[in-house]
Structure 1
Amino acid sequence: MKNLTQRSIGTLALAAALVACSTEGKGSQERHRPEHASIDAKAEHVNRPLDRYFLSPQDVLQIRKAEASLTNRCMRNLHYASHPLPMPRLEHEESNLSEFLIFPVSQAREHGYEVARKASDSDTEWKSRATRTQIALLDGTLRQYKRKTVPKGGCSAFAAQTLMRGTRHQRIQIDGMSITHDASATPDGIFDTVLSAMRYSTAVKSDSDERVKSVTEEWSSCMQKAGFHYASPAEAATDSRWSKGNRPTKLETSVAVADMKCKKEVRYLDTVVEVQSENERNMAAEQSTTLKSLQKDLKVWLSNARKEVNRQPA
């Protein structure tokens, strides 16, 4: 389903863009060391300025419940009732340190860079059991079914457009990137795409910051002392020698452990988060009109979602 898969812009890809910093030209000035970055060590969560604009887990749940209900209703109206979309559950916030290619040393020792290689798709299990006919009804490639006319764009588009009723599609510009969405894009997908694009843009800016370059050089020097030669954390995590299977090699786990220890030693995370947070504050100010517009639309989208959820069971 296009509206489901659009929800993620690729968090680990963003992390790679953030940490793949250039190390050309060693800085001669002493690097500013932040006193404190906004990191909740107990929850293993990094807090950044743009976080406040992402949808809350409760809002996402409300929208996805309505999406599932609308999609299933559309499918029933077409006389296709098998294998309905399941009602989603509340997703609790998890550690986001993997965005910075940081994870516990114990995990590095056991699994190497496994967390950096894996990309999750919460819809994979459901999709694996969906029939071709069902997919065609969802995306609209099948226009007629059992003498019924399939809505334009399919049941996915029907659900999305119902949720979006009362607002209009808009083209959003972010640092040269033009963001548009198709008829099957749902509110949570739009928010995730726009805000992730903003976050990606701030991460790219962080790459050229002298503080990030400097701490990356310090990390690289620390790794060399441990016997490993990498210019950046992304280079270490994506080494082509690492196992693509279930079990990492001894070399991979050794590098991963040294990587985590060196990041802690040079205060890598503090520096990167501090720099990215500065850029995110600037981005929020620059995109204030867009953010206010999205938040205004969200009130309408949530109202539409509540009406659908209260209307009838999926």
Structure 2
Amino acid sequence: MRLRLRAAVGALLTAATAACSTAATPMAATPTAAAPRPGVTVPPPGVEVRALSVPFDRYNFSTADISVLEAAEELLVRDCMRRRGMAWEVLPRSAMEDLEPPNRRRYGVVEPEIARLFGYHPPPDRPTVARRAAARDSRARRLSAQERRAAHDEEDGCLEQARSHLEQGTPRVDEALFNKLISETFARSRRDPRVVQVFGAWSACMREQGRQYADPLAAVTDRRWMNDGPASPEEISVARADVRCKERTGLVPVWSAAEKRLQDDAVNAHPAEFRALRAAKDGQLAAARAVLARG
């Protein structure tokens, strides 16, 4: 079974969980990414969000890992297409500093500047990520029917061959179990007595600022923010209050510590399954780096 797990991000706060490409879990409604605004520079992820981690990160692919895998796949597809007498335009790579840290929005919006600019809407892609996405869309539009079949056929396509190459020799993994544990440990962390207590402190802080929310989940999933347009002044005001109250109450460290305890317990309860996950991840990344080294 193909392992292509993605790191959990802000969707976790909306009762969603990190998902495999082959076994995604249900996701609650969340604000869509904010559209780029002229003259607005998307801030790079701060030091604090880059430092956020949980034990399951060791077994999951981060956005940086996926960037490595996709860059290797591009070269393998290029070579495969050439053997079939067709060209393949290799996409430009995204700069590592432009990629989202795996846990940037795990506990909702935690960066004051992001809240000020975008409210609860995820910020637009940073420049090199946006450039890659635009190049991918442009290439897709220009592919002929023959080229599309050669590249994307599910059984004999060059992309399928590239992924099989990177997975060769890696162990099978239990993706369903991993997804289940991600979901369960996140849900249980919200019921941890220390987390419940800090949620109460956060809620009281929000009330002081005229905002009525039981916990951060209720704030980020407020139906008023579920739109494709820019964040409203009210959304931005609530998001900024949310961030201030998280900082005042120490909510993120308390919540993260609870999740870490639960995830460590899960790893210890399923040693063989997590060894396989780690081996599969490390094996694919090693194979990808070897492809990139050859060029």
TM over 0.5: yes
CA distance in 2, matches of 1:275, 1:7: 23
1:279-304 Cα shifts (integer Å, max 9, x gaps)? 11112212321222234445654554
Query: What is the alpha-carbon root mean square deviation over aligned residues?
Result: 3.5
Q: Which runs of 5+ in 2 are unaligned?
A: 18-45
Mapping of residues 18-167 of structure 1, within 5 Å:
42-44=47-49, 45-54=51-60, 63-82=69-88, 84-86=89-91, 88=93, 91-92=96-97, 95=101, 96-115=103-122, 124-129=133-138, 130=140, 131=143, 133=145, 134-140=147-153, 152-167=155-170
The equivalent residue for 1:220 is: 203
- The one-character-per-residue Cα deviations of 1:159-203 (angstroms, maximum 9, x if unpaired) are 0112222345444452xxxxxxxxxxxxxxxxxxx5x66433321
Q: Alignment length, in residue pairs?
A: 256
- 1:18 offset after TM fit, Å? 7.6
Residues 208-247 of structure 1 aligned to structure 2 (within 5 Å):
208-242=191-225, 244-247=227-230
Report the CA distance shift for 1:306/1:154 in structure 2 as closer, same or farther (over 3 A): same
Deviation at 1:140, TM superposition (A): 0.6
CA contact (8 A) 2:202 2:249 kept: yes
Task: Quote the offset at 1:233 in angstroms.
Answer: 1.3
Contact persistence 2:185–2:259 (CA under 8 A): yes
* Higher share of residues assigned helix: 2
One of 228, 241, 246 as aligned partner of 1:263: 246
The answer as to 2:19 corresponding to 1:13 is: no
- Bigger drift between 88-97 and 247-256 goes to 88-97
Residues of 2 paired with 1:276 and 1:161: CA distance? Answer: 34
Cα deviation, residue 224, structure 1: 1.9
CA contact (8 A) 1:48 1:277 kept: yes
SS of residue in 1 equivalent to 2:225: coil
> By how many angstroms is 1:16 displaced?
1.9
* Residue of structure 1 in register with 2:43 after alignment: none
Structure 1 residues 309 and 17: CA distance shift in structure 2, 3 A: same
CA distance in 2, matches of 1:16, 1:118: 19
Per the alignment, do residues 300 and 16 of structure 1 end up closer, same or farther by CA in structure 2, a change over 3 Å counting?
closer
Distance 2:67 2:113 in 1: 33
TM value normalised by structure 2: 0.71
TM-score of the two chains, using structure 1 as the length reference: 0.67
Larger gyration radius, structure 1 or structure 2: 1
Q: Which of 118-127 and 284-293 deviates more? A: 118-127
Q: Equivalent residues in 2 for 1:200-215 (5 A)?
A: 200-215=183-198
Q: Deviations over 1:6-48 (max 9, x none)?
A: 55366222232289xxxxxxxxxxxxxxxxxxxxx84432132
- Tell me: CA distance 1:18–1:137, structure 2 relative to 1, closer, same or farther (3 Å): closer
User: Structure 2 CA distance, aligned partners of 1:101 and 1:299?
Assistant: 29
Report the Cα offset of residue 71 of structure 1.
1.0
Instruction: Output the CA distance in 2 between the equivalents of 1:58 and 1:119.
Output: 14
8 Å contact 1:68–1:87 — kept in the other structure? Answer: no
* CA shift in 2, pair 1:110/1:91, >3 Å: closer
What is the rounded CA distance, in whole Å, between the counterparts of 1:56 and 1:137 in structure 2? Answer: 29
Q: Give the 3 Å change call, closer, same or farther, for CA 57–262 of structure 1 in structure 2.
A: closer
Give the superposition deviation at 1:66. 2.8
